Structure 1
Amino acid sequence: MHVLDILLLRSFVAVSRTGSVSVAARQVGRTQSAVSMQMRRLEAIAGQPLLRRTGTGVELTAAGDRLLIHAERILNAHDDALSLLPGSGLRGAITFGCPEDYLTAFFPGLLQGFGERHADVEIEVVCAPTVELKPLLQRRRLDLALVSLPGEETGEHVIRRESFVWVGSEAEPGILNREVIPLALSAPDTLDHLAARTAMDQAGRAYRIAFASNSLAGLLAVTRSGQAISVVTRSAVPPDLFELEDPLPALPEIGISLAYASNRPSAIVRAFGDFVENHLRNISD
């Protein structure tokens, strides 16, 4: 009778999420050759291929997709049971997604606080805008992620609201007097980009996209140079930049929510999610 070893399943889930044996090996603390051998053992137990190689790494076969569902359930149940044992505490790894401005504004202290309580939990952070995080959640490359929601959305799933604001290198930057105002914005399908363009269009203000990037650091660098103005959430405004108002049009609010890859997250994922939610709800505006 075959037995599905927990370590084999943990490596298999890591490979499926990262799409890379080498990256998965670093996550589970083994060598690449050891993880490759584990995958061959698992395929021998399954009696069929679970992975196929691609030009950029590996992906699951149909049999691998079916096994992944059960592997995650087994690991979640195992980790939940382990967390209840005296002296065991929480241990394992979490892959967490977060837009860069939220990470800058909220998370240095939060990650340190969670780490002090749960020293055996390793957290990998993936910085990307919401439009890129959602597909990663769907493919289970992330365990959970902070995502942005349009401002009109309501409900308990909205754990915090943030206002978009214009920022510039000076309190009254000269570029606001130009006939066409240069903007530094993120990708066209992001909420901040859409909010900025909609506000300017509705106000009848002429503008051009002088710089486009999903890198917050890149956008702020251009803003600091005085060559353009940008849009960030109010909590993420750096101390050396200025929040701008008139004559620019007002920008909307957005909601912040936690999204999970699984409807039944593991004990460590739930614990981290609860910690994040409590932290964000308790931050004063």
Structure 2
Amino acid sequence: MQAPLDLRLLATFVRAAHSGTLSATAIQVGRTQSAVTMQIQRLEEALGQSLFHRSGSGVRLTGNGERFLAYAERILKIHDEAISALSDKGLRGSMTFGSPEDYLIAFFPTLLRSFGSIHPDVEIKVVSAPTVELRTLLHSRQIDLALVSIPDASASRDVVRTEALVWVGSKPTLELHNFGDTVPLALPASNAMDHRAACDAMAGAGLRYRISYASNSLAGLIAVARSGLAISVMTEEAVPPDLFILNAPMPQLPRLGVLIAFAESEPSPAIEAFANHIRRILPSL
């Protein structure tokens, strides 16, 4: 009789199948790359099948690997559901959660602390990235769920919170910065929603500007704003107390909608529980 499959090997295999690299998988499962390689080899030996084509750039599924992936995902999902339904110790499991950096700073400590007090056996790993990158990670299933932004807060019924984008500077008014007739801006990278909103607002108001600094690091944008060398854009909740929100003549910026996006149409009980917790807590933070 063939030995039963090790669930830990299945979990590593699923992560590797979605990430495409064993180095990324190692980070996600908290092991070394050599340990991940050994786990994949053990699973292949147990099945008597090769699951991955290996190359210098990463791994990709073989035909048998594609077939087995669907089974592995179903086994892991049913396992989590069974544990959740029958265990008197509450939810168990792990997930990878993605969020833009400003939402992480403003909201995640409270969300994690309150959820962890209810479900201490659920492990949550965190990835920080702009919305456009988070959607790519969700599509490739490298993360399980994410807080993402949409430019029109009224465009979806699934919006759990709205956030105002604001101009931020080291002085209380634009005039006090003495920039002259061209306003230097410190913005997220050009593929970010905040970047497009800022440029559209400046163009719509007929104000001259130049982009003097571009980065997806919120800490970098804050540092430039503090230096007084440029005006930055961020969500209102992320503005540090030593910086100022600028109003006219700076044009009004839109409110973003914040919603929860999933990698799977049927998330595990632990993931669904965390999403429901976010829906309950986030609007009041």
The code of the aligned residue for 1:226 comes to: G
Kindly state the Cα deviation for residue 120 of structure 1 after the two structures are TM-superposed: 1.6
Tell which deviates more after alignment, 273-282 or 26-35.
26-35
- Which residue does the alignment assign to 2:194? 192
Q: Please state whether the residue corresponding to 1:155 is helix, strand or coil.
A: coil
Give the alignment of 1:106-117 within 5 angstroms. Answer: 106-117=107-118
Identify which range, 196-205 or 71-80, moves more after superposition.
71-80
- The alpha carbon displacement at 1:45 in A equals 4.4
1:268 maps to which residue? 270
Aligned position for 1:72 = 73
CA-to-aligned-CA distance 1:22-56 (integer Å, 9 cap, x gap) = 55456546665554333123223444322233435
Per-residue CA shift, 1:79-99, capped at 9, x if unaligned? Answer: 011012242322221100000
The residue aligned with 1:172 is 173
Aligned counterparts, 1:24-63, within 5 A? 24-25=25-26, 27-28=28-29, 32-63=33-64
Which position in structure 2 is the counterpart of 1:208?
210
Does the 8 Å CA contact 2:111/2:282 hold for their aligned counterparts? no
Q: How does the TM-score come out when normalised to structure 2?
A: 0.91
Q: Which residue of 1 aligns with 2:236?
A: 234
Deviations 1:46-73 (A, max 9, x none): 4432223343543433433332233222
Using a 3 Å threshold, how does the CA distance of structure 1 residues 220 and 78 change in structure 2: closer, same or farther? Answer: same
Q: CA deviation at 1:223?
A: 0.7
Deviation at 1:225, TM superposition (A): 0.4
Contact kept in structure 1, 2:153 and 2:159, CA below 8 Å: no
Contact 2:170 2:227 in 1 (8 A): yes
Aligned length: 283
Contact 2:19–2:140 (CA under 8 A) maintained in structure 1: no
Contact conserved, 1:175 with 1:182, CA < 8 A, in 2? no
Cα distance in 1 for partners of 2:49, 2:205 equals 61
Between the aligned residues of both structures, percent identity stands at 53
Is the deviation greater in 124-133 or in 17-26? 17-26
Gaps of 5+ in 1: none
Q: Which of 252, 255, 280 is the equivalent residue of 1:253? A: 255
Per-residue deviation, 1:112: 1.4
2:171, 2:177 within 8 Å by CA — same for their partners in 1? no
Equivalent residues in 2 for 1:87-126 (5 A)?
87-126=88-127
Query: Do the aligned partners of 1:11 and 1:38 also contact (CA within 8 Å) in 2?
Result: yes
Per-residue CA deviation, residues 147-198 of structure 1 (Å, 9 max, x unaligned), is 1112154332111111111000110243365111000001112111000000
What amino acid sits opposite 2:182 in the alignment?
A: V
* Contact persistence 1:171–1:244 (CA under 8 A): yes
- Alpha-carbon spacing, 1:59–1:200, altered in 2? closer, same or farther (3 Å): same
* Contact 1:175/1:181, CA 8 A, preserved across alignment: no
Q: After TM superposition, list the pairs within 5 Å mapping 1:84-163 onto structure 2.
A: 84-151=85-152, 153-163=154-164
Distance in structure 2 (CA, Å) of the matches to 1:133 and 1:125: 12
- Unpaired segments ≥5 residues, structure 2: none
SS at match of 2:245: strand
TM-score between the two structures when normalised by the length of structure 1: 0.91
For residue 183 of structure 1, the aligned residue among 182, 185, 189 is 185
Output the aligned Cα RMSD. 2.1
Residues 171, 267 of structure 1: CA spacing in aligned structure 2 closer, same or farther, 3 A cutoff?
same
* Partner SS for 2:210: strand
Structure 1 counterpart of 2:157, one-letter code: E
> Which is worse superposed, 58-67 or 203-212?
58-67
Closer/same/farther in 2, CA of residues 62 and 237 from structure 1, 3 Å limit: farther
